[in-house]
């Protein structure tokens, strides 16, 4: 199944349940503009709403860039009020990805700079090619990050190192990103998508409702309006009422693989 968008490719493998969303502005190194942000929103929303979609893989076209940043020409034409609205919209879209109960993996195939790094950080996991590069260069333009970079980078790598990267704008290689905890894995470029599909497929073999509850509970830890421990206890009790729990425990007792249906 394929769906048409102006700035990205949408490809669902119905057999595996994996939706691949590929940012597709190669002449601009997949830079984010307003129209691309809206396409990202619409594509993810379609994936979230489609029961056939069980997990999402996000990547960029070509081998040079995942997303090389924001479209500077578009940014330069904005007023202060328009810029704030653009940042708020981008944050809303990226938070929607982060809060998904369907697992989302970023396959980072090249430069992930500025908004591209912020987009990758909004995904639940990040796998980088060995050619990937990461950075938040916004202060070079006289700006702070606008799509959540000051919030998510400290969560992933710690406050002190995050401030250093945000203020120096140093670009780091994939192996350094792995050491810092910014990415989960680094693999050769040619193996990137296959590795991500294998990782996502492994997750999709688990109880889907439990996977979604885990994502909700982890996000609750970072929420200013939720108590993560209370959310976990509630989710634990909620899971007991599902067919997946019955199947999982029965399969364990019978020493056989579980066959989950997600209800």
Question: By percentage, how much of the chain surpasses pLDDT 90?
Answer: 94
Backbone angles phi, psi at 50, to 5 degrees: -85, 115
Q: What span, in angstroms and rounded, lies between the C-alpha atoms of 36 and 104?
A: 18
Q: How much is the pTM?
A: 0.95
Q: Which residue is catalytic, options 15, 88, 98, 118?
A: 118
In this prediction, residue 116 has a pLDDT band, given cuts at 50, 70 and 90, of very high
Q: What span, in angstroms and rounded, lies between the C-alpha atoms of 136 and 16?
A: 35
Q: What would the mean pLDDT of 150-166 be, rounded to a whole number?
A: 98
Q: What span, in angstroms and rounded, lies between the C-alpha atoms of 230 and 28?
A: 45
In this prediction, residue 263 has a pLDDT band, given cuts at 50, 70 and 90, of low
Q: Is the pLDDT of residue 1 over 70?
A: no
Domain with CATH 1.10.12 in the chain: 208-253
Residue 88 annotated to the active site: no
With contact defined as beta carbons under 8 Å apart, do 110 and 131 qualify?
Answer: yes
Domain with CATH 3.90.226.10 in the chain: 2-204
Q: What is the pLDDT of residues 211-232, one digit of tens each?
A: 999 999 999 999 989 999 999 9
Question: What rounded mean pLDDT belongs to the chain?
Answer: 96
Q: Is the pLDDT of residue 98 over 60?
A: yes
Residue 2: its pLDDT value, please? 56
Q: What span, in angstroms and rounded, lies between the C-alpha atoms of 70 and 204?
A: 32
Two tokens, residue 170:
């140093």
Q: Which residue is catalytic, options 138, 164, 230, 243?
A: 138
CATH number for region 2-204: 3.90.226.10
The sign of the torsion formed by the CA atoms of 39, 42, 46, 47 equals positive
Residue 254 annotated to the active site: no
More confident residue, 261 or 187: 187
CATH number for region 208-253: 1.10.12
Secondary structure (3-state) at 235: helix
């Amino acid at each position: 199944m394929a769906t048409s968008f102006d700035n990205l490719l949408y490809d669902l493998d119905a057999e595996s349940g994996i939706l691949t969303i590929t940012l597709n502005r190669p002449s601009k190194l997949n830079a984010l503009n307003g129209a691309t942000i809206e396409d990202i929103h619409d594509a993810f929303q379609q994936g979230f709403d489609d029961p056939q979609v069980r997990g999402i893989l996000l990547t960029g076209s070509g081998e040079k860039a995942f997303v090389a940043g924001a479209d500077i020409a578009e940014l330069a034409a904005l007023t202060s009020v328009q810029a704030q609205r653009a940042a708020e919209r981008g944050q809303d879209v990226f938070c929607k990805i982060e809060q998904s109960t369907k697992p989302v993996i970023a396959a980072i195939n090249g430069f992930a700079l500025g908004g591209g790094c912020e987009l990758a950080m909004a995904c639940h996991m990040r796998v980088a090619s060995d050619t990937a590069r990461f950075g938040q260069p916004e202060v070079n333009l006289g700006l702070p990050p606008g799509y959540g970079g000051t919030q998510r980078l400290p969560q992933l790598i710690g406050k002190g190192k995050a401030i250093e990267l945000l203020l120096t704008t140093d670009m780091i290689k994939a192996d350094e990103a792995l050491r810092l905890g910014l990415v989960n894995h680094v693999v050769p470029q040619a193996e990137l998508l296959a590795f991500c599909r294998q990782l996502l497929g492994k997750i999709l073999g688990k109880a889907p409702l439990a996977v979604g509850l885990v994502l909700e509970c982890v996000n609750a830890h970072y929420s200013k309006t939720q108590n993560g421990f209370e959310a976990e206890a509630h989710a634990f009790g909620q899971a007991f009422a599902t067919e997946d729990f019955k199947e999982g425990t029965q399969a364990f007792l019978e020493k056989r693989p579980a066959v989950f249906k997600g209800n």
